[in-house]
Each structure stands twice: as C-alpha cells, then as structure tokens.
Amino acid sequence: AVDIRTLRAKTGMITYDPGFVNTGCCQSDVTYIDGEKGILRYRGYDINDLAEKCEFVDVAYLLVHGKLPSREQHDEFSTNMNYHSLLHEDMRHFFDAYPDHAHPMATLSAMAVSLSTFYPELEDATLQENIDYKVTRLLSKMRTAAAFAYKKSIGHPIVYPRPDLKYCENFINMMFRTPVNSYEVDPVVAKALNKLLILHADHEQNCSASVVKMVGSAGANLYASISAGICALWGPLHGGANQHVIEMLERIITEDKGDVKRVVARAKDKNDPFRLMGVGHRVYKSYDPRAKVAKTMCKDVLEALGVSDPLVDLAQELEDAVLADDYFVERNLYPNIDFYTGLTYRAMGIPTDMFTVMFAIGRIPGWIAQWLEMREDPHGRIGRPRQIYTGHTQRPVE
C-alpha cells in the first residue's frame, strides 16, 4: 500500500473515489472480510464458528479485547453488564417527550448521545482506563433504552432489567413482559437473538463504522460517536434495509399480488429507482456468509417456534429469481445479511421498525472496538476527505 500522507505532502495529489470504493482509510486488526470467497472473521475467528458456539457477550468481549474471555472474564463482563443495565431515572422523561410513532432508531441515537451528559467522566479518562466499565455501560444501557423505546411506542409501562437474566434474555423480557402476563423467556428466542447479534457485531469499514470513527477522529466522545453511527445505520441502503426487506415482501403480496417477476423486472429497470432490498453488497461478490447463517437459522427458528410465515416462501422465491437472472449474476448481486434476518426477528415477535435497532445493538461492540483502535493509532489524524471543486470561479457580488 502507498502511504497517501507522504504522497500528498510531496505532490498535492487528490484521489477522486466517490463512495470510497477503493480507498483504505486505516489499518485494522479487528475484522477480516474476503468478499470474493465470502469469508468473514472477527479477530481471526470464522463467523460460522462464533455464531454456532458463542454468546453475544463473549463476541463483544472478543471484539473489544482481541481474545475470547475466560470463564472468569465472562462472568465479570456479565456482572458489569447487569450492574450498568439501569438507565438514570431522569432519562425516562426523555421517552415521554417523543411522539408514540417516533422511529426507535431516532430515539436510540438520542439516548446514546444523552448518556454523555450523565457520564462526562468518559472524556477525562484515558482510553483503556476501566475499559470494561465503559463498554458494558454502553452496551447494557443501550439495550435497556431500546426496550423502553418499544414499550413507549405501544403505550405500555416499561419493564426494568433483571439481575438474574443474561444479556439477551434480559432484553427479551423487557420487550415482552407486561404487568398482566406471566411472560417467560423462550430459550429458542434467546439463542436466536444471541446468534443474530453475533452476525451484526462488526463488519470493518462500512458506512456506520466509518461515521463512528470520523466523528471520533475529531476528538468527540464515544457516546457522541456511537450516536452518529446509529443514524448512519438507519439508512435503507445500510442497516435500515432489514426493515425495508419485510416491507418490500409485504408489498409484493398486497400490491404486486405475489408477482415476483414483476418486482425483479422493476429492480432491473434503470429508469425505476426501485432496488431489491437485502440484495447486493459493496464488498461481497459472492453469497454474504452472514446471510447463509441467517437463512438457515430463520428456517430452524420458525420451525422450533411453530411459526409459519408466507413471507419466508416468498423470500425464497425472490432469491431463486435473483440467482437465476443474468442481471444479478453479472453484477454479483446476492442476498445480504438483511434479507433473512428480519424474517427471524418477525417470528420472534420483534416489530418491524425495531429490526434496525436490533442491528444497532449488535453492532455496538464493533463500533467500540474500531473507535478504540482509531484513537490508539499513533498515526491517527482527524478524518478530512478532500474534494474536486466544480463550482464557479471567482465572481463579484452585483
């Protein structure tokens, strides 16, 4: 790789690379992707292995610390997670100020940056000082905030986190327990959530991670940086696609009367802005390895929960049509992670507008790991792309 800093200093050269398709912005030890072969590894561990054998909190620990936790480290990390699970009571009023129909990604982003007002000491501490304390506080409180946002949106009283429940179980309980039901967390749902959050946990220099790092490169605190990342993830071309996939499938049934060919034709029509949601990826030019895991688990979870969903068959029909169509084959467009995850969240009872929130909760460890790596990089500088100016030359005000 050419060191662009030296080049620029010597020649004043500016690379023009819209969308940063070929621009490397850092060196990183966190996540490895081979887009041609469909490989994804966190800290050297294959995503299939991690999804099969680990809990989400262990993968969070792995991303931040670079190694899987020992039994004692796992217990301590989980204890910290419980210790930090409550939101400051004053933060409860924030939820009341939003309209019931507020999108929970907006609320989540606001809650992330609001945490910095309650814990300003983060800015004074050295980066690695009490690192688990900071990480678990963010992870745990954001999960609580997400569940509170949901309860607020349906007009139900909030449910507080419980110290006897693990990370994923706690979230599910806060989502679905009410004062009038005797909800018990289904282990099938808890296992599925662990797996889904692991699939979301990091994906190197994607749009939201780049935003988190860009904001952090200016010296902004971790909460502010994560808040910005949540906003980026919300976009339909990024994590927001999981919500849009389900909405697209629903529209295929209601508006297109199940006519998959018509929808595929629209996606290929260059005069139509419509795109198949959950299809295509900047880096993967073969099947997204996360989508493979998500597809298998979707079928397993639905079967275990005894749920039958016509959208699953429709999704398969759409995938078959994509894989058999020259337009998609020539462009290496395959289902991505968002194609099947929403179907599983739906079977678990998670409402559609919470899908991207789930993605955000899963992605927080990756954002933190990359933010820390960026801040510790001795070559790190403020992120500041250049431009090719195409506007007016100087002109007088008349």
Binding site for ligand ACO (CB under 6 A): 19, 206, 237-239, 241, 267, 275-282, 331, 333, 336-338
Q: Which residue of the set 58, 288, 338, 353 is catalytic?
A: 338
Residue 138 tokens, joined? 């963010």
Question: Based on CB atoms, which residue is closest to ligand ACO, 174 or 343?
Answer: 343
In the bound state, the residue with its beta carbon closest to ligand ACO is: 280
121 class by beta-carbon count within 10 Å (0-12 exposed, 13-18 middle, 19+ buried):
exposed
Q: Which residue of the set 202, 203, 281, 353 is catalytic?
A: 281
Active site annotation includes 281: yes
CA–CA dist 149, 91 (Å, integer): 11
Question: Based on CB atoms, which residue is closest to ligand ACO, 122 or 248?
Answer: 248
DSSP conformation class of 201: S
User: Considering the complex, what minimum distance in angstroms separates the CB of residue 331 from ligand ACO?
Assistant: 4
Task: For the sheet with 45-46, list strands across it.
Answer: 31-34, 39-42, 45-46
Percent composition of the chain: helix, strand, coil (DSSP 3-state, to 5): 60, 5, 40
User: Considering the complex, what minimum distance in angstroms separates the CB of residue 363 from ligand ACO?
Assistant: 9
User: Considering the complex, what minimum distance in angstroms separates the CB of residue 314 from ligand ACO?
Assistant: 16
User: Considering the complex, what minimum distance in angstroms separates the CB of residue 275 from ligand ACO?
Assistant: 4
Question: Based on CB atoms, which residue is closest to ligand ACO, 91 or 279?
Answer: 279
In this structure, the number of other CB atoms found within 10 A of the CB of residue 248 comes to 24
Active site annotation includes 338: yes
Residue 157 identity (one-letter amino acid):
P
Question: Based on CB atoms, which residue is closest to ligand ACO, 159 or 291?
Answer: 291
CA–CA dist 260, 73 (Å, integer): 50
User: Considering the complex, what minimum distance in angstroms separates the CB of residue 85 from ligand ACO?
Assistant: 27
Residue 336 identity (one-letter amino acid):
N
Question: Based on CB atoms, which residue is closest to ligand ACO, 90 or 272?
Answer: 272
Residue 233 tokens, joined? 């993830």
- List residues with catalytic annotation: 281, 338
